[in-house]
Amino acid sequence: MFLVNSEVLKLSAFLCVLNFPSVALSESDFSDNPEVQVLINELVLEKGLDRASLNQIFSKAQLKDSVLKLMTRPAEKIKPWFEYSDIFVSKSRIKNGLLFYQENLDILRSASKRFGVPPEIIVSIIGVETSYGTITGDYRVIDALSTLAFHYPSELKNYSKRKTYFTNELKNFLVFTQKQQLDPLALLGSYAGAMGFGQFMPSSYRNYAIDFDGDGRIDIWENIADAVGSVANYLAKHGWVEGEEIVVPADFLGNAEENWLNAGLKPQKTVSELVAMEFTTKTAVAPSTLATAIALEGEEGAEYWMGFKNFYVITRYNHSTMYALSVYQLAQAIKEKVIVAGK
């Protein structure tokens, strides 16, 4: 997952990844770039990687003009909730989610038992991220990350911070490919370097990806067991609490412009405090439970929700209220289909 995504970037990764072919800006490689040599020196001295191997990798990595175009194109208007949800909570995604659930039932049950995360939540995240592994990106990760680490557009906001971010992700990528004995020139991902069924960035791969089927390898590209286990592990490590509410519909008769609405992703107020401000829910929730008040633009007016810790955990995957609510609603729709199907 590309954790720094905005609503726009999340939609762009899904809708536009196929719009720009992976064409190199030039035939030159990165081997003569002074910044590359600095990075190689760091990896040799700090991580013990082989200098000759690194030089060979960067001699075959390519600068991708299409990656830079995706990063620098004019920002799209952020879609309102009712349009955003139509993309990710669609009939086809619900149908394919049921199929993915049924085909991988034993793996999902095992992951849910081990990590305490409902199987439908795991399926939903994979569905939102990559349409159940069907859209995982067609860029070589080494090309995407090298392009962004060494040629991140200087005119973009937070240039220095973003350049450093992608440089660190490139380091993580080179470290884990050596450790896992994977070919760094063969692995594919998104234009931002996100990989596999769950779109893990290299740092997330190193910290949260697991060998769930015990075959000695961590393969989130083709091994569904590892992909499912890794998503569940990610949520568990970020504080998922088994059996607790995620988010519930709320009622509010006050001013939708109140500054405590959408004040942040992390729950800060207790349910009783929100109730005192006339932000209520019909769902039975302990008054001392921490929650966040959410207001979104529905098709027929304001739509209110009360999010709890597990909702916040989903936003650790992508820092977006609409992303997390889409995951929840898709999961609920899949769960309903599973119940009807009898599994």
- CA-to-CA separations, 322 to 27, 85, 91, 195, 252, in angstroms, rounded: 40, 8, 18, 22, 19
- CA-to-CA separations, 339 to 106, 120, 328, 330, 332, in angstroms, rounded: 16, 11, 16, 14, 11
Which range of residues forms the domain containing residue 168?
7-76+140-201
Q: C-alpha angle with apex 200: 230 to 171, nearest 5 degrees?
A: 120
| pTM of the predicted model as reported, rounded to 2 decimal places | 0.91
Residue 223 lies in a domain: no
| Active-site position among 7, 129, 169, 245 | 129
Residue 309 lies in a domain: no
pLDDT at 2: 53
Is-contact 68 150, C-beta < 8 A?
no
Residue 47 lies in a domain: yes
CATH of the domain at 30: 1.10.8.350
Helices (H), the chain: 7-16, 34-47, 51-60, 65-72, 81-88, 91-103, 105-115, 119-130, 141-151, 159-179, 202-208, 224-237, 271-276, 309-315, 321-341
pLDDT at 228: 98
pLDDT at 99: 98
State yes or no: is 129 an active-site residue.
yes
Backbone φ, ψ for residue 37 (5° rounding) = -65, -35
Q: Which long-range contacts (CB under 8 A, 24 or more apart) does 212-221 make?
A: 212/107, 212/110, 212/111, 217/180, 218/180, 220/195, 220/196, 221/136, 221/187, 221/188, 221/195, 221/196, 221/197
- Whole-angstrom Cα distance, residue 258 to residue 304? 13
214 exposure class (CB count in 10 Å sphere: 0-12, 13-18, 19+): exposed
pLDDT at 13: 46
Residue 181 lies in a domain: yes
What is the number of domains present in the chain?
A: 1
Residue 122 lies in a domain: no
Residue 19 lies in a domain: yes
Q: For residue 159, which amino acid is it?
A: Y
Residue 298 lies in a domain: no
Residue 326 lies in a domain: no
Digitized pLDDT (tens) for each residue of the chain, 343 residues in all: 654 444 444 454 444 443 433 334 444 578 789 999 999 999 999 999 999 999 999 999 999 999 999 998 876 678 999 999 999 999 999 999 999 999 999 999 999 999 999 999 999 999 999 999 999 999 999 999 999 999 999 999 999 999 999 999 999 999 999 999 999 999 999 999 999 999 999 999 999 999 999 999 999 999 999 999 999 999 999 999 999 999 999 999 888 778 899 999 999 999 999 999 999 999 999 999 999 999 999 999 999 999 999 999 999 999 999 999 999 999 999 999 999 998 6
